Amino acid sequence: MKQFLIKITLFALAVGLSIFFVFSLADGYSDALYMRFATSQKQSLILGTSRAAQGLIPSEIAKIISPHKIMNEFYNYGFSITHSPWGPTYLASIKKKIRPATKDAIYILAVDPWTVSSTTKNPNDSSHFEELDHAVANVPAVNMNPNLFYLTNYYFDPYVFILWRKWIHPRGFINDDGWLEISIEMDSASVKEREDRLITNYTNNNLVRYHFSDLRFVYLEKTIDFLKTHGKVYLVRMPLHRRMFEIEQKLMPNFDSLINSLCVTKQVDYFNYVDELNTYKFTDGNHLYKTSAKKLSIDLAKRIANSAR
Amino acid sequence: MLFNSLHFALFLPLIFILYWFVFNRTVRIQNSLLLVSSYFFYACWDYRFLFLLIFSTLLDYFTALRMKETEKPHLRKFWFWLSVCINLGFLAIFKYYNFFSSSFAQALSLVGIKANFVTLSVILPVGISFYTFHGLSYVIDVYKKRIQPVSNFVDYSVFVSFFPLLVAGPIERATHLLPQIRAKRSFDYSTAMDGMRQILWGLFKKVVIADNCAEYANTIFAHSANFSGSTNLLGAIIFATQIYCDFSGYSDIALGTARLLGIELLRNFAFPYFSRDIAEFWRRWHISLSSWFRDYVYIPLGGSKVPKWKSVRNIFIIFLLSGFWHGANWTFLFWGALNALYFLPLLLLNRNRNNLEIVAQGKLLPSIKELFQMLTTFAITVLAWIFFRADNLTDAFHYLSRIFSRSLFSLPQGNAFIASFHPYVIFLLIGILIIVEWFGREYKYALADMGLVKNKTIRYLSYYLLAMTIFFVGGKGQHFIYFQF
């Protein structure tokens, strides 16, 4: 028995250490979410869904707003529409990601009609919100590296990809500042194909499934209130393709006026980019291409800097 | 709690330690631990159905004791049929009620009668087919006076609900397992090492091969209309690989786990895809179920020692029952019937017991004839699996018609194989599986001879590489296919 236990323990140790070693190599290439849960707590954040994750570059914004102060502390903590619409789950996760003693930080919240809508039968039924099944709701620590809980429960690819993707890079990569950089074919035919697929999906599926949620809107307010205790809050509506804008208008024609009123009440600035349809390039009509992300980030940073004066 | 989950990886060592170090004073204490841990294991699936399992256990336990106590044949018969009817009744309600009611309604509608039966929206209790058959084997054996009923309730309960076999078998026999449960067990180093090896190999088959194959098979079967004949054929072959690795992998883990606890379970698979005819295949595939039907249905019906037409009837009965055991769907019945048809020529020509020994025993490679026989048997098995996998008979026939179309001679389509890994990686792993299984075919499981490798470094390096492959190349976690039965 003793011999068996020693051998099994040594074997389990060798296997366990190897696994831990590979887990510790997980990085921004491993998947599109992991690093959000494996970086330290931050002071300033960019928040929202995949539009924000791909479209706003914290390091670019930081260079203009405050080149010395928050360079390493400005992080893109945006996920996707299924993970991070405004609500109790995202707010709880944001609270975990912000360094408690933070003051005078900057928070950029990307808003659009989908982020205040829900797919549940009753749009205010928070017990069935879609994000509850995802990592944002269930990963207990968001600043642990390696994040064993995330890797064992929410890393859906075979683990060999943690190593593989270090050499053969995937299309998506999370930079050190949290920006999700996507490298993708941008020839007109590929872009058109992705646009068509996305528009069809949003028209046939999402437009039918999503309904405005008062509760999500309340949580947007609560998020703003919480963030204001740590610094200055800015709301931004990301630019998007005309066809996509038309769909959003069908979902919530009064979205902008609602946000404008909210901004007045909460005394925060709102930067609306939906009218600048032709200024930016999209990968699929919904997400900005990386060159446009840089352009938008610089522009937004300048506007923020101007508004602060 | 899946065998390939982190929960089980924590559960098993804990039980192992408690079993051999804390509760090791008497068999009774060890069995109590096994019972509690088995019920906990089952409750992790759905604690509500634990009561059904306990009720079924109590029923068989008490009816068996009543049978022993009474000498009157009619009373013995009464207790026997009470147990059989209630056990099968549960199975009928939970597994077959909706099938029968909807099929009956459809049949009535053919003659113009509109019937609307109530359908039950109950989920199938996991493992019900397995533990019901455990219980039935015990009650039948007691009734036939092959064994004495057990007076200790804990012992009997462990026999029914021993966690390694509880949810997907192997289907044990009272004559085989109960004596082991009642006897004192002592730790044996080589048995435990063998158990660990079998668990490792089972995990490789399930996590690496079956789960990765599942990604392809699911895509191809779900969108078969969009794919060519060759792609659909490849999909069927991949499914055949998946179901073998899924189920035999599960069985290997179950057998290995039981060995760690000093208990030897019935062998469930013996390299079935190396069979030279369908009769051999059925002696090697899901052996515990095939032998259950053989002993409790086929032989009581007269087996093959009756006029030819009756043996044909008996063969059809057991294959149809076997199909129906898998699920309440016409596809399973058709699958059973098809296998009976495959079996028929062998039975009529008295060649169903031709290939009793291991193929190419003692040789490195099979002869051309043996290879041809193995490939032919595999091919007809693959065709039968299409009915097993399809959602309904129409889908199955459509799938078959797509295979046997002109596009069978085109190259398989790449868009059917968009998954975690490039198909070449999976084919390479399947190749490794075939080689290891071929060279291990004379043993209880493929990796058993690894223990004979004298060089420790090579041996442990192989285990380490296998463990790393399981962890790093394992596919997206899929449920074991046989959990649904």
Q: Does A3 sit within 8 Å of B468, measured CB to CB? A: no
Reported as type and span, the H/E element at residue B350 is none
Q: Decide if pLDDT at A70 tops 60.
A: no
Identify which of A4, A7, A157 has the shortest CB distance to residue B420: A157
Distance CA B343, CA B277 (A): 9
Nearest chain B residue to A153 by CA: give it.
B6
Interface contact B190, partner A, CB < 8 A:
no
Q: What is the pLDDT of residue B3?
A: 84
Give B364 to chain A, closest Cα distance, Å: 32
Rounded to an integer, the average pLDDT of A265-294 is 90
Give me the long-range contacts of A220-223 (CB less than 8 A, separation at least 24): A220/A86, A220/A109, A220/A111, A220/A115, A220/A116, A220/A262, A221/A262, A221/A266, A222/A91, A223/A47, A223/A86, A223/A90, A223/A91, A223/A94, A223/A109
* CB-side neighbour CA atoms (13 Å) of A224: 23
Interface contact B451, partner A, CB < 8 A:
no
Interface contact A167, partner B, CB < 8 A:
no
To the nearest whole percent, how much of chain B has pLDDT over 90?
64
Distance CA A44, CA A94 (A): 11
Interface contact B474, partner A, CB < 8 A:
yes
Would you call B304 helix, strand, or coil by DSSP? coil
Closest CA to B126 of B168, B181, B170, B74: B168
A30-39, A58-67, B371-380 — which is least confidently predicted?
A58-67
Interface contact A161, partner B, CB < 8 A:
yes
Are B259 and B220 contacting, i.e. CB atoms less than 8 angstroms apart? no
The reply to whether omega before A146 is within 30° of 0 (cis) is yes
Q: Are strands A105-110 and A231-237 parallel, antiparallel or unpaired?
A: parallel
Q: Does A19 sit within 8 Å of B476, measured CB to CB? A: no
- Could you count the other beta carbons within 10 Å of the beta carbon of residue B231? 27
Q: What is the pLDDT of residue B6?
A: 85
Catalytic one of B286, B326, B398, B422? B326
Q: What is the pLDDT of residue A39?
A: 93
Q: Does A11 sit within 8 Å of B460, measured CB to CB? A: yes
**What would you report as the CA-atom Rg of chain B, rounded to the nearest whole angstrom?**
23
Confidence category of residue A197, pLDDT binned at 50, 70, 90: very high
Closest CA to B183 of B161, B145, B150: B150
Chain A residues within an 8 Å CB radius of B193:
4, 7
Q: Are strands A172-174 and A74-76 parallel, antiparallel or unpaired?
A: unpaired
Q: Which of B471, B476, B478 to substitute to test the interface with A, most A CBs within 10 Å?
A: B471
Rounded to an integer, the average pLDDT of A86-97 is 95
Tokens of A29: 């290439």
Interface contact B196, partner A, CB < 8 A:
yes
Interface contact B148, partner A, CB < 8 A:
no
Distance CA B323, CA B306 (A): 24
User: pTM, whole model, 2 decimals?
Assistant: 0.86
Confidence category of residue B485, pLDDT binned at 50, 70, 90: low
Q: What is the pLDDT of residue B420?
A: 72
Per-chain mean pLDDT for chain A = 91
Identify which of A7, A15, A158 has the shortest CB distance to residue B475: A158
Tokens of B159: 């026999």
Rounded to an integer, the average pLDDT of A185-195 is 90
Q: Max CA-CA distance within chain B?
A: 75
Identify which of B196, B421, B471 has the shortest CB distance to residue A8: B196
Confidence category of residue A109, pLDDT binned at 50, 70, 90: very high
Q: In this prediction, does ipTM exceed 0.85?
A: no
Confidence category of residue B111, pLDDT binned at 50, 70, 90: confident
Identify which of A3, A15, A152 has the shortest CB distance to residue B464: A15
Q: Max CA-CA distance within chain A?
A: 75
Q: What would the pLDDT profile of B260-308 be if each residue is shown by its tens digit?
A: 999 999 999 999 999 999 999 999 999 999 999 999 999 999 877 888 8
Interface of B with A in 415-434 (CB under 8 A): 420-421
* CB-side neighbour CA atoms (13 Å) of B436: 19
Q: Does A1 sit within 8 Å of B189, measured CB to CB? A: yes
Chain B residues within an 8 Å CB radius of A18:
468
Chain A residues within an 8 Å CB radius of B196:
8
Q: What is the pLDDT of residue A1?
A: 84
The DSSP output letter for B413 is: P
Closest CA to B221 of B206, B241, B203, B235: B235
Confidence category of residue B415, pLDDT binned at 50, 70, 90: confident
Closest CA to B254 of B266, B241, B244: B266
Q: How would you label B254-285 residue by residue, b for 16+ Cβ within 10 Å and e otherwise?
A: bbbbbbbbbbebbbbbbbbbbbbbbbbbbbbb
What domains can be seen in chain A, in order of their start residue? 2-308 (3.40.50.1110)
Chain B residues within an 8 Å CB radius of A159:
471-472, 474
Rounded to an integer, the average pLDDT of B177-197 is 93
Q: Decide if pLDDT at B342 tops 70.
A: yes
Identify which of B193, B420, B472 has the shortest CB distance to residue A4: B193
Confidence category of residue B119, pLDDT binned at 50, 70, 90: low
Interface contact B151, partner A, CB < 8 A:
no
Closest CA to B418 of B220, B195, B224, B264: B220
Q: Decide if B479 is catalytic.
A: no
Q: Which of B200, B468, B469, B470 to substitute to test the interface with A, most A CBs within 10 Å?
A: B468
Q: Decide if pLDDT at A308 tops 80.
A: no
Q: What is the pLDDT of residue A309?
A: 64
Interface contact B104, partner A, CB < 8 A:
no
A99 — alpha (psi -120 to 50), left (phi > 0) or beta?
beta
A106-110, B349-353, B430-434, B477-481 — which is least confidently predicted?
B477-481
Would you call B219 helix, strand, or coil by DSSP? helix
Identify which of B189, B193, B473 has the shortest CB distance to residue A158: B473
Confidence category of residue A58, pLDDT binned at 50, 70, 90: very high
Distance CA B463, CA B445 (A): 15
Q: How would you label B85-108 residue by residue, b for 16+ Cβ within 10 Å and e otherwise?
A: ebbeebbeebbebbbebeeeeeee
Q: Does A22 sit within 8 Å of B472, measured CB to CB? A: yes
Q: What is the pLDDT of residue B482?
A: 66
Nearest chain A residue to B196 by CA: give it.
A8
Nearest chain A residue to B6 by CA: give it.
A152
Confidence category of residue B120, pLDDT binned at 50, 70, 90: low
Tokens of B206: 């399930």
Q: Which ranges of B70-122 does DSSP label H, i.e. alpha helix?
A: 73-91, 97-110
Per-chain mean pLDDT for chain B = 90
Closest CA to B293 of B274, B316, B265, B269: B316
